[in-house]
Amino acid sequence: MMLKTSYRKINPGVNMYFVTLRRMLPIIIISTVAFLLVCPAFFMVNADLFVDELSKEMDGYYLHSDSFIWLFNNVKFNITQMNVTLTSIACVFAAIAPVIVCTINFSFLFSKKSSDFYLALPLKRTEMFISRSLASATATVIPIVLSFGAMSVLSVVLPHTESGLPDVLWSLAYVITVLLLSTVISLLFLACAGAVGDFIISLLGL
Q: pLDDT tens digits for 77-106?
A: 778 888 889 999 999 999 999 989 988 888
* Most confident residue range from 15-19, 186-190, 198-202: 15-19
pLDDT score at 59: 47
For the chain, how big is the Rg over CA atoms in Å?
22
Average pLDDT over residues 46-74: 56
pLDDT score at 5: 46
Contacts of 26 (CB under 8 A, 6+ apart): none
pLDDT score at 177: 96
Closest-CA residue to 86 (of 168, 173, 176) = 168
More confident residue, 171 or 164: 171
* pLDDT bracket for residue 2 (50, 70, 90): very low
Closest-CA residue to 70 (of 53, 83, 81, 56) = 56
To the nearest whole percent, how much of the chain has pLDDT over 70? Answer: 73
Does the structure show a pLDDT above 90 at 32?
Answer: yes
* pLDDT bracket for residue 194 (50, 70, 90): low
Does the structure show a pLDDT above 70 at 43?
Answer: yes
Closest-CA residue to 164 (of 39, 35, 31) = 39
pLDDT score at 203: 58
- pTM value? 0.77
* pLDDT bracket for residue 1 (50, 70, 90): very low
Mean pLDDT for the chain overall? 79
How far apart CA 8 and CA 11 sit, in angstroms, is 8
Average pLDDT over residues 168-191: 90
pLDDT score at 193: 66
pLDDT score at 206: 55
pLDDT score at 37: 92
